[in-house]
Amino acid sequence: MNAAVARLAHAFHFAAVAHTPQRRKGARGEPYVNHVAEVAHLLAEATAGNDVDLVIAGLLHDVVEDTATTAADLAEIFGADVANLVAEVTDDKSLPKAERKRRQIESAPHISDRAKLLKIADKTSNLRSIAESPPEGWPLDRQQGYFDWARAVVEGCRGLNAALETAFDAALAKRP
């Protein structure tokens, strides 16, 4: 058995179980695991499949923020590289939302190049989701504000992968 494929399958299963009760905020209410699968797919394409740990981090990028999983759990199960990538893009949920958003803009230029790719893939997936199935209760100005904020975050991550940036720009172009 190919070890990389086995690790990817394990990460996908782990993410699916961890996010089981979660749904996306959009009107379609699709399973949250669809988001992390899309992020992983974007990263696999951006790296031509040559960075398995980054793809795994894409699958797991929200588990520390959104579930009982800890960074230590990720390090033990998937290794320090994956855990460190996830940690670079994990918000401190003890802070107010506005502060977390401000910190993402400020920190984006200073995270590792691989974490920047993860950040771009995550924002691309989020923009696509908002454009295709806006979150219930989000008025147009809130949707547009998210697009503007995502653009500001990604500005600090540019210059690494033209294909991924093109995917982000295409999603951004669907701004409501």
**Whole-angstrom distance, CA of residue 173 vs CA of residue 126:** 13
- Which of 30, 45, 66, 81 is catalytic? The answer is 66
> Is 65 annotated in the active site?
yes
19 C-beta neighbours (distance < 10 Å), count: 21
**How many whole angstroms from its chain centre is CA 157?**
13
User: Which tokens hold the place of 172?
Assistant: 């951004």
**Whole-angstrom distance, CA of residue 90 vs CA of residue 71:** 10
> Is 169 annotated in the active site?
no
Closest CA to 82 of 54, 110, 117: 54
Q: What is the per-residue burial (b if ≥16 Cβ within 10 Å, else e) of 43-58?
A: bbebbeeebbbbbbbb
- Which of 45, 65, 81, 169 is catalytic? The answer is 65
Q: What amino acid positions are annotated as catalytic residues?
A: 65-66
